[in-house]
């Protein structure tokens, strides 16, 4: 049996210095390695290649975002109203309202998403061309994408 606290994988100071020196040599030359050719994709499997193709239609980031996590209904609606009017006044084209997926809402489901959607349906027409569930990379069912007029 070996001594308590010692492991066979621990390095002596001398070995550690040699290891550090070797690592420095490796990483010093890493900038000399060329980037892969643009457009050259090496699929790992058929399924990952399909995923890559479907996600190649990238949606640009929204012009502005509003995160409502942790807000009450009243706070959220006031913030949404201000957000929509301000974005429209500043002639932004797109916006994102992050409502969350309602995981802490119990049986009620996503409370903020319902309230915000209802407010947008009643009050958004003068400002919005459209609104819908956000693309997956921007929150999917936990966010609302806005297209301003």
Q: Mind listing the domains of the chain with CATH numbers? A: 64-148 (3.30.1370.110)
Taking 50 as the threshold, does the pLDDT of residue 56 lie above it?
no
Q: Which residue has the tokens 């301003």?
A: 148
The mean pLDDT value of the chain amounts to 78
Confidence of residue 7 (pLDDT cuts 50, 70, 90): very low
The residue among 42 and 98 whose pLDDT is bigger is 98
pLDDT at 30: 54
pLDDT at 90: 98
Q: How far apart (Å, rounded) are the C-alpha atoms in residues 149 and 109?
A: 30
Q: Do 104 and 92 form a contact (C-beta atoms < 8 A)? A: no
Confidence of residue 47 (pLDDT cuts 50, 70, 90): very low
pTM: 0.61
101-106 mean pLDDT:
76
């Amino acid at each position: 049996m070996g001594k308590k606290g010692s492991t066979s994988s621990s390095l002596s100071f001398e070995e550690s210095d040699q290891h550090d020196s070797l690592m420095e040599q490796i990483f010093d030359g890493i900038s000399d390695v060329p980037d892969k050719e643009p457009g050259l994709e090496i699929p790992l499997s058929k399924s990952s290649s399909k995923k890559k193709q479907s996600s190649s239609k990238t949606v640009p980031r929204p012009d502005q975002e509003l995160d409502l996590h942790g807000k009450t209904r009243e706070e959220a609606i006031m913030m949404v109203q201000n957000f929509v009017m301000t974005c429209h006044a500043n002639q932004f084209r797109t916006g994102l309202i992050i409502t969350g997926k309602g995981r802490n809402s119990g049986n009620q489901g996503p409370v903020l998403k319902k309230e915000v959607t209802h407010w947008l349906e009643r009050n958004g027409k003068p400002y919005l061309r459209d609104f819908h569930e956000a693309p997956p990379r921007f929150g999917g069912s936990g966010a609302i994408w806005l297209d301003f007029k």
